[in-house]
A and B are shown apart, each in its own frame.
Chain A
Amino acid sequence: MDISSIAQAFAEVLHPNNLMLLSIGVIAGIIAGCIPGLTYTMAIMLAFPFTFGMDPISGITLMIGIYVGGLSGGLISGILLGIPGTPSSVTTTFDGYPMNRNGEAGRALGLGILSSSFGTVVGALALFALGPAIAGIALKFGPWEIFSLVLFALTLIAGLSGKSLSKGLIAGCGGLLIATIGYDPAGQLRFDFGMTELSGGIASLPVLIGLFAVSQLFKNVEEIRKQSEGLSKAQVRIPIKQVFKDMYAEKWNALRSSSIGVFIGALPAAGAETATFISYDQAKKFGKRKELFGKGHPGGIVASETSNNAVAGGAFIPSITLGIPGDVAQAVMFGVLILHGITPGPGLFHHQPVLVNSIFAAMLISALIMLLFQTLLLPLLIRVSLIPNAILVPCIIVMSCVGTFALNHQMFDVWCVVLFGLLGYLLEKMDVPLGPVILGLILGPKAEDELIKALQMNPNVGEFVTRPISLLFIVLAVVSLAYSLYQARNDRSKTKRGPSPSNAA
């Protein structure tokens, strides 16, 4: 461990110019993350041209600020409006929004912000201390292991199904089926129904915004007359002591979820959403008062946000150590380095130690900046809840349309928001959970791609169970499904028996 290069890296990042760039990046990332339709990936791509005239450390510092801020920003709209700002903040809404509805908006936001910072710090430390080791394990992941991991993640559909397992599985399969629209890995066009717009498939962002954002907005419209009561002063206060108490109570959850985030982030193409869903499911399985998950359990927010932000540290591991960017955001960030003639890869640690350490330093400092800015903005953010729905709903619909259009410049995507919004609203009325749809939509293509790759490399299906890591994930998938079925059966018999005499008293 070269102390001098670490010290030099911190000195570079703490230079007033770079500190300002980092702060601007974090704020821009938070704004992009909290507006449904805009994503940190988009913000990073928009910021990329501005880095042309910067040195590598300045450029990468700005990008990291946007990345870290963007991963966290989704919690703001998720908690205040029930609308996930980014795909990876879907699970934050499961408990964050109910807490807001219960009058605990300050507590939920405070906990989310603290969890985001915690996750970022853990991710940064993991990158610094364990980067090469984790990269070594990640290299052992072939298509069999990634398929089995995705299969395990898909079994979470059972855990997200709530009261009706059958409806949840139907919803998950619906998401998987929608994901097959467009060209398959072999180049065959599927399910276009004669429409050229469908040849490109249906992007996950319009579906996410339609199902979660638009349907939630229309549910808010149902309660428009009740909203004139407004929030009380107590509800807009931030209970700092309570937030820290909650965080301490969920410390093992936070550590476990951060570890999951780091590990899954280190797997190229696994995605932050996979990490958040797995972390949420594990928090539900291991947490106390499981019945409160989905109704306002602080553990749900902690699991989601720590995992979400820990992915940032994990995602840099294959990028820096192996030169393999895990997603578009990583690829753009490393474009900054390639512009300056620096090639990410195994030699980067030796040839550019200050640069590598500056990535770690930028992540640590951005966690503090994010904590500071979001905490300062919190009293203002909570007041968003005071804006009447009569004004808020049309504004969010417009912003969602703009963000969706900005994705591919196609009106078709905006029409998808309308149609999936209507579908989401109707599905909720029929008690069909929406989480499984988005899980199927995001994970479906990965599952099919990796399955085909694995079978092309070796047509023997037995390879999935003879490879130890793949077998481990298949066993975990079976256990996860069995546990969810057992829990569902338990809940049904408890409902039939009714409350026990001691509870009734």
Chain B
Amino acid sequence: MADRIFAIAVLLFTAAFFAESRSFAAKNATQTLSSAFFPTLIIAVMSAFAILVFIRSFKRPTPGISFSGLAARLKEHWRIPVLFAMFAGYVALMPAAGFRISTILFLLAGFIVLQPRFQTKRLLLYVPLSLALAYGIFFIFERQLHILLP
């Protein structure tokens, strides 16, 4: 099932790129190859292999997990989608709130979410650690190396 989903996703991806490539200008007098030549070649090879993977997924089915099994796995590894969401939130917040505040919030939330068992006394470590890391990185990069952060 996973192979089938992968093959379909690849075919959709190549279709989008192929559709976009149709809008490229034709080869002009100075060009030996058109701008679409190289990408079209890659799209053709990629689509051919995706079709092969799709066909093989029926002939040589690989053991996968059912949708209910997937739900159970998500429940077991809930930290992963939560951390991805937090990561995306951190990157979205950075330009608005600035590097220091967004980093302090992300680090603190990350430490709390990722600890195997929640322990309140660990906050005594996590809060100063978040502050120290955020300000430390800011000091080194912006003040010492002159690399401006958001």
Q: Which residues of A contact B (CB under 8 A)?
A: 46, 164, 166-167, 169-170, 173-174, 176-177, 180, 184, 186, 188, 190-191, 193, 214, 218, 221-222, 224-225, 227-228, 388-391, 393-395, 397-399, 401-402, 405-406, 409, 411, 414-415, 418, 421-422, 425, 429-432, 448, 451-452, 455-456, 459
Query: Is the CB–CB distance between B46 and A418 below 8 Å?
Result: no
Q: Are A402 and B33 CB-contacts (below 8 A) given A174-B46, A188-B24?
A: no
Interchain CB contact (< 8 A) of A177 among B30, B46, B141: B46
Known: A390-B111, A402-B149, A411-B94. A395 touches B133 (CB 8 A): yes
| Best-buried of A221, A225, A459 by chain B (most CB within 10 Å) | A221
A-B pairs with lowest CB-CB distance, top 4 = A394-B110, A390-B114, A173-B46, A188-B35
Do A397 and B87 have beta carbons less than 8 Å apart?
Answer: yes
Within 8 Å by CB of B53, from A167, A177, A422, A456, lies: A167
Residues of A within 8 A of B46 (CB): 170, 173-174, 177
Q: A173-B42, A227-B116, A397-B90 are in contact. List 7 more A-B contacts (CB 8 A).
A: A188-B24, A190-B21, A388-B115, A391-B111, A425-B80, A451-B38, A455-B33
Residues of A within 8 A of B147 (CB): 46, 406
Alpha-carbon distance A16/B33, docked complex (angstroms): 57
What does DSSP make chain B's interface, helix, strand, loop or mixed?
helix
Complex contact A170–B50 (CB within 8 A): yes
Q: Is A186 within 8 A of B116, CB to CB?
A: no
- Please report the C-alpha to C-alpha distance between residue A389 and residue B31 in the assembled complex, in whole angstroms: 53
CA distance A190 to B34 in the complex (A): 12
Contact A398 B137 (CB under 8 A): yes
- Chain B residues whose C-beta falls within 8 Å of the C-beta of A411 in the assembled complex: 91, 94-95, 150
Q: How far is the CA of A405 from the CA of B91 in the complex (A)?
A: 11
Q: Is there contact, CB below 8 Å, between B116 and A224?
A: yes
Q: Check A169/B79 contact, CB under 8 A, given A398-B107, A422-B84.
A: no
Would you call B39 and A186 a contact (CB within 8 A)?
no
Contact status of A393 and B42, CB under 8 A, knowing A398-B103, A421-B87, A429-B2: no
Question: For the complex, is B124 an interface residue (Cβ under 8 Å from A)?
Answer: no
> Does A222 lie within 8 Å of B116, measured CB to CB?
no
Chain B residues whose C-beta falls within 8 Å of the C-beta of A431 in the assembled complex = 2, 62
**Is A430 a contact of B50 with CB atoms below 8 Å?**
no
In this complex, the member of B5, B32, B107, B129 whose beta carbon has the largest number of chain A beta carbons within 10 angstroms is B32
Q: How far is the CA of A222 from the CA of B116 in the complex (A)?
A: 11
Q: From residue 97 to 121 of chain B, which have CB atoms closer than 8 A to chain A?
A: 99, 103, 106-107, 110-111, 114-116
Size category of the B interface is 35 or more
Question: B2 to A430, Cβ gap below 8 A?
Answer: yes
Q: What residue in chain A is nearest B140 (Cβ atoms)? A: A402
In contact, B84 and A218 (Cβ under 8 angstroms): yes
Task: With CB as the reference atom, state the residue of chain A lying closest to B108.
Answer: A394
Known: A222-B77, A456-B32. Contact between A432 and B6, CB under 8 A?
yes
Measured between beta carbons, the chain B residues less than 8 angstroms from A221 are 77, 79-80, 83, 114
Please give, as numbers and ranges, the residues of chain B lying within 8 Å of A180 by CB-CB distance: 38-39, 42
Contacts of B79 in A (CB 8 A): 221, 224
Among B30, B53, B95, the one with the most A-chain Cβ atoms within 10 Å of its Cβ is B53
Residues B33 and A224 in contact, CB atoms below 8 Å apart: no
| B43 A177 Cβ-Cβ under 8 A | yes
Q: Is B83 a contact partner of A405 (Cβ separation < 8 A)? A: no
The answer to whether A405 and B150 have CB atoms under 8 Å apart is yes
Offer 18 A-B interface pairs, CB within 8 angstroms, sorted by A: A166-B56, A170-B53, A177-B39, A190-B35, A190-B39, A191-B17, A225-B116, A227-B116, A228-B116, A390-B114, A391-B129, A395-B133, A398-B106, A401-B90, A422-B84, A432-B6, A451-B38, A452-B33
Q: How many Å lie between the Cα of A170 and that of B7 in the bound state?
A: 9
Given A170-B10, A177-B43, A402-B141, residue A389 in contact with residue B87 (CB < 8 A): no
In the complex the two chains form, is B137's CB within 8 Å of A173's CB? no
